[in-house]
Structure 1
C-alpha cells in the first residue's frame, strides 16, 4: 500500500526543494534534494539556537555522547590550512581553516544532492569586489583539492547582495562559477542580480534577527517581494532563479510552493514530511498567484553605481538597506567568532 502524500511531497511537485543544512543524516532520510544551501556558521557554532546557548568556545555542536560533533573535521581543516597556507597568499590561517571546514561539511552531503553545493563567502568582504572574487575562487580550488572527482561546476557561491557583491557575481559568472545573491530584500537588488547574471537570488522572507531573538517577529515579511521578483524575472526572460530562504514555519513554506527553488531547514523539513497533504487547510502557493502587475524600469540604475545605491537606500523608506546591514553584521560577528575558535585550536 502506497504511503499517504505529505506536504513535502506537495512542495516537491511545485518547487525544487533544497536542504538548508549540512547534516547528512537529514539529507539521507528526507532526500534526495536538489541543492544544499546551508551556512557553515549554523553548522559549527549553533546558529539555529535562538538563545545562542552553545558557547562559542565549544567550537562545535555536541553529539549524543557529549563529544564535539565536528571535532575531527575541525582538526583536519586546521591541519590542511597549516600545510596549504603558503599557496594561498594574503589569506589568514584561521580564515582559510574556516573555508576548508565548510567545504568538508558540504562534501559530506553531496551524495544526497542532484544540484549545487552552496558556500558563502567571508561576510567581511561584503563591500569588496576583488576580495570576494578571490575568496570564491579559493573555495572552488579547495573543493578540487579535497575531492578531485567532484565537478567544480556544481559549486555555487553565496555572496551578499551589495553593489560590490553583485559586481563580483558578474565576474564569477563570466568565469563559469555559479553565484547566489543572498540577503536579498527588494527589487532594486533583484534587478541588479539579474543584470549581473546571478544563477539565484535568495529573498529573506524573515529578516535574519528572527533566528537569534525568540521575542522578535518580522512584521514586514518579504512574501510580496518574493512573488514580485519571480514575476519580474519571468516577464523579462531572466535566467536568474528565485530561491526564498529564512523561513520560520511550514505555513510560510507552503505559501511559497511554486518558487523556482526553496530552501528548508531540518525542523521544517521534518514537519513537512510528517504532515499529511489531506487534509491540509493551509495556504498553498498564494505568493505566486494573482495578477502579474507592472514593474519599474531599472535599466537606468543597474549600470550606475551612484543611482543604484540611492535607489536601494530609498527602497521601502530605508527598510531594505537596514535589513541587509543587520544581516551582514550578524554574519560578520559569527565569522569573527569562528576564526577566534580556530585560532584557539592551533
Structure 2
C-alpha cells in the first residue's frame, strides 16, 4: 500500500487542481478551484471549448462590455467546475471574486449568481461549495447563504479568530493554509529549522482541530496549501486535506501505512460565547502573520481574476 491509499482511509482527500487528467489519476472525493487555478486551466486544450461556450453565454446575456467580461469569467469557472464534477463523487469549490471580500451583500449576490449558473447546467447546489475569503463580511455572508442551502468553503484562513468565527457561524468548511503560514514564519526566521513538531502551519491546524472537536462544532476542517508531504502526514486524520498534484504523486510513490495523528476524542466543553465583530477584528489583528497573509492572499486572487478577465476581454 502506498501512502496516498493509506491516507484516504483516515482522511478525505481533495484535489487542489483544475486539471482533469490529475483528477482522473488520483480519484479524490472533492476538488477545489480558485482564480489562480482557473487561470492555469484555461490554457489547457481540454477546456478550449468551454471558453468558447462561456463567451457565447456572455454575449447572449448582453449588457455593457464590462458586464460581458464578468459573466464570461463567472461562466468559465462554472463550466470548469461542472466538467470536474463528472470525475468526482463529491463537491466542487468555486470562488467568489476576491475583490468583493469586504462586501457581505455583494458576496451573497455573486454566490447566488454562481449557484444559478450551476443549476442551469443541471447541477444541484448540494454539489457546490462557494469559496469566500475568511473576512468578517464573508463569514457573515456564508451564514446567510446557509439559510438557502448554499454551503461555503471559507478560504485564506490563517488566524484562530477566523476559525472560531467560522465555527460559530456554522459554515460548512474552512481551509486553513498550512504552507503559507509556514512560509511567513520561515521568511521571518530563515535560520530556523521547522520540523513538523514545530511547524507553525501544522500547529495552527492541530489547535483548530482540537478546539472544534472539543466544542462539537460540525464545520469541516480542510488543511490546505502544503509545501511538503511531512506537513500532510503530520495532519493525517484531519477531516479533509486538499493536496496539489505534485504532492499527490509523491504520496503515491511512497510506500507505507500512514499513522492517524488527529483523532476526535469527543471531549466536549461547549463554548457558549460567540465573538462579536469588534472582538473578531481585535483578535485577528493581534496575529501579524494572519493579517499580512490574508491581505496578500486576497490581493493575489484579485490580480489573477483581473488577468483572467483581461484574457477574456479580447473576445468582446
* TM-score (norm: length of structure 1): 0.80
> Which sections of structure 2, spanning at least 5 residues, go unmatched?
none
Residue equivalent to 1:24: 20
Deviations 1:77-108 (A, max 9, x none): 1111121245xx99822122111111111111
Conserved in 1, the CA contact under 8 Å of 2:13 and 2:240?
yes
Cα separation, 2, equivalents of 1:76 and 1:299:
49
Task: Establish whether residue 205 from structure 1 lines up as the match of residue 215 from structure 2.
Answer: no
CA RMSD of aligned residues (A): 2.9
Give how far 1:15 is off.
0.3
1:237/1:300 CA distance change after superposition, 3 Å = closer
Q: Give the 5 Å matches for 1:89-128.
A: 92-128=67-103
Match of 1:84 in 2: 61
Displacement after TM superposition at 1:133 (Å): 0.5
Q: How many residues align?
A: 306
- Aligned pair partner of 2:110 in 115, 135, 160: 135
The correspondence of residues 164-243 of structure 1 with structure 2, limited to 5 A, is 164-207=137-180, 221-243=200-222
CA contact (8 A) 1:75 1:345 kept: no
**What does the per-residue CA deviation read over 1:14-35, in whole Å, with 9 as the maximum and x for residues that have no partner?**
101111112222122221x221
Deviations along 1:117-137, whole A, 9 cap, x unmatched?
A: 110100000000000001111
Partner of 1:34: 29
SS in structure 1 at match of 2:14: strand
Which ranges in structure 1 are unaligned for 5 or more consecutive residues?
47-59, 64-68
CA deviations on 1:195-227 (whole Å, 9 max, x unpaired) are 1111100000022896xxx9x989764211101
Moved over 3 A (4+): 216-221, 283-286, 289-298
1:269 equivalent in alignment to 2:248: yes
SS at match of 2:178: coil
1:112 aligns to what SS in structure 2?
A: coil
TM-score, structure 2 as length reference? 0.88
What is the CA distance between 1:40 and its match in structure 2? 4.0
Contact 2:213 2:265 (8 Å CA) reproduced = no
> What SS does structure 2 have at the residue aligned with 1:331?
helix
In 1, the alpha carbon distance for the partners of 2:280 and 2:80 equals 36
**Which residue of the partner structure matches residue 235 of structure 2?**
256
2:295 to 297, 315, 325: 325
In 1, the alpha carbon distance for the partners of 2:33 and 2:256 equals 26
Distance in structure 2 (CA, Å) of the matches to 1:330 and 1:209: 18
Matched residue SS, 2:30: coil
Q: Does residue 295 of structure 2 align to residue 299 of structure 1?
A: no
Q: 1:173 to 1:62 in 2, by over 3 A?
A: closer
Residue 312 (structure 1) aligned with residue 272 (structure 2): no
- Hey, what's the Cα distance between the residues in 2 that align with 1:338 and 1:143? 20
